[in-house]
């Protein structure tokens, strides 16, 4: 039996589509920023914020909150858009992305925006940061959960694998990591730059429990996060297979859109596609 009701899945799918539209608008306004990764990871982030995580946007430092560490800080436009819709700050503020004096910097800065658990941007560090929080929570006898979102490209970094060994050694069963397996990085396709597969077998050999899901299936993501709570002897890695540029056909699977914002014409075409997709989502659930 699924851990999430069909009606909730519909609401999250509709919200994710709305968030993608706001993301495109913010990138157009900024004339700078990343497109492909943020569009591809919005379904995961939306599932986390609107179903999985325990938090209070009016009290972002609530001691018993779940903590989310996003290691691949270049997906900041998606993080900000989801957080705005979750109530951390006004949606209108998304239009200040990357502007001088904005809280919404090009990569997340913890001290600038309530609700961020860490500053990120330099890849390979997020898992270590999350592990520190998970170990501290266990030592303090806390029951909240720690989540870490990682890119596949940052698995070229040795620190990520050192962290993976540490988490397994200390049996951090309060830690759930989600790997954004979109197969692209700034220089090209991951398997051309530095082959990574099989990531599942690698994490299993490092002592993790591994699950693989469709990173655009809300039900599968929610169920994997719920199942992770039942794994008591080791940390859990959820490998979420995602499509970079999801929802915009001329961006999908294209590594060239890793760090490129849309121009006015491209933004209009993107929004037209997403609005059409939004209509289909609504009709499918009626």
- pLDDT at residue 274 is higher than 70: yes
The answer to whether position 1 is within a domain reads: no
State the pLDDT at residue 281: 87
The answer to whether position 103 is within a domain reads: yes
State the pLDDT at residue 20: 98
The answer to whether position 183 is within a domain reads: yes
User: Measured between alpha carbons, how far is 264 from 262 in angstroms, rounded to an integer?
Assistant: 7
For 39, 51, 173, 230, 272, the CA distances from 233, given in Å and listed in that order, are 34, 24, 6, 9, 47
The answer to whether position 136 is within a domain reads: yes
Mean pLDDT (whole number) for 247-256: 95
The rounded percent of the chain whose pLDDT value lies above 90 is 93
State the pLDDT at residue 286: 64
* Per-residue pLDDT tens over the stretch 191-249: 999 999 999 999 999 999 999 999 999 999 999 999 999 999 999 999 999 999 999 99
What residues have CB less than 8 Å from 286, skipping those under 6 apart? none
Give 76's pLDDT tier (boundaries 50, 70, 90).
very high
How many domains, in total, are found in the chain? 1
State the pLDDT at residue 285: 67
The answer to whether position 231 is within a domain reads: yes
178: left (phi over 0), alpha (psi -120 to 50) or beta: beta
**What's this model's pTM, rounded to 2 decimal places?**
0.96
The answer to whether position 279 is within a domain reads: yes
The answer to whether position 219 is within a domain reads: yes
Backbone angles phi, psi at 82, to 5 degrees: -65, -45
* Per-residue pLDDT tens over the stretch 24-70: 999 999 999 999 999 999 999 999 999 999 999 999 999 999 999 99
State the pLDDT at residue 279: 87
State the pLDDT at residue 122: 83
The two structure tokens encoding residue 99: 């502007």
Q: What is the CATH number of the domain that holds 169?
A: 3.40.50.970
What is the residue-averaged pLDDT of the chain? Answer: 96
Residue 223: which domain range? 6-284
Q: Are strands 188-189 and 67-70 parallel, antiparallel or unpaired?
A: unpaired
Backbone angles phi, psi at 176, to 5 degrees: -120, 120
User: Measured between alpha carbons, how far is 43 from 178 in angstroms, rounded to an integer?
Assistant: 12
Mean pLDDT (whole number) for 74-99: 97
Q: Where are the alpha helices (DSSP H) in the chain?
A: 6-30, 36-47, 76-85, 126-139, 158-169, 190-193, 199-205, 218-228, 264-284
Mean pLDDT (whole number) for 262-271: 97
State the pLDDT at residue 284: 78
The answer to whether position 254 is within a domain reads: yes
Distance of CA 193 to the CA centre of its chain: 22
* Per-residue pLDDT tens over the stretch 109-143: 999 999 999 999 888 899 999 999 999 999 999 99
* Cis check: omega of the bond before 253, within 30 degrees of 0: no
């Amino acid at each position: 039996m699924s851990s999430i009701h069909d009606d909730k899945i519909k609401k999250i799918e509709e919200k994710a589509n709305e968030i993608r539209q706001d993301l495109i608008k913010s990138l157009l306004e900024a004339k700078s920023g990343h497109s492909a990764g943020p569009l591809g990871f919005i379904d995961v982030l939306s599932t986390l914020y609107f179903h999985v995580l325990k938090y209070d946007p009016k009290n972002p430092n609530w001691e018993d909150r779940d903590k989310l560490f996003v290691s691949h800080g270049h997906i900041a436009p998606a993080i900000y858009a989801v957080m705005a819709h979750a109530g951390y700050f006004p949606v209108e503020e998304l239009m200040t992305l990357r502007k001088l004096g904005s809280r919404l910097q090009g990569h997340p800065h913890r001290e600038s925006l309530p609700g961020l658990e860490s500053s990120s941007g330099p890849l390979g560090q997020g898992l270590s940061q999350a592990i520190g929080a998970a170990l501290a929570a266990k030592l303090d006898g806390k029951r909240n959960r720690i989540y870490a979102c990682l890119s596949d490209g940052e698995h070229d970094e040795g620190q990520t694998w050192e962290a993976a060994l540490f988490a397994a050694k200390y049996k951090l069963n309060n830690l759930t990591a989600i790997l954004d397996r979109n197969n692209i990085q700034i220089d090209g396709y991951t398997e051309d730059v530095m082959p990574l597969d099989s990531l599942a077998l690698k994490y299993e050999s490092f002592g993790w429990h591994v699950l693989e899901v469709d990173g655009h299936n809300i039900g599968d993501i929610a169920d994997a996060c719920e199942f992770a709570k039942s794994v008591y002897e080791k940390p859990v890695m959820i490998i979420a297979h995602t499509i970079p540029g999801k929802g915009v056909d001329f961006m999908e699977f294209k590594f060239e859109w890793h760090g490129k914002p849309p121009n006015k014409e491209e933004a209009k075409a993107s929004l037209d596609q997403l609005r059409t997709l939004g209509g289909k989502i609504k009709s499918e659930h009626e």
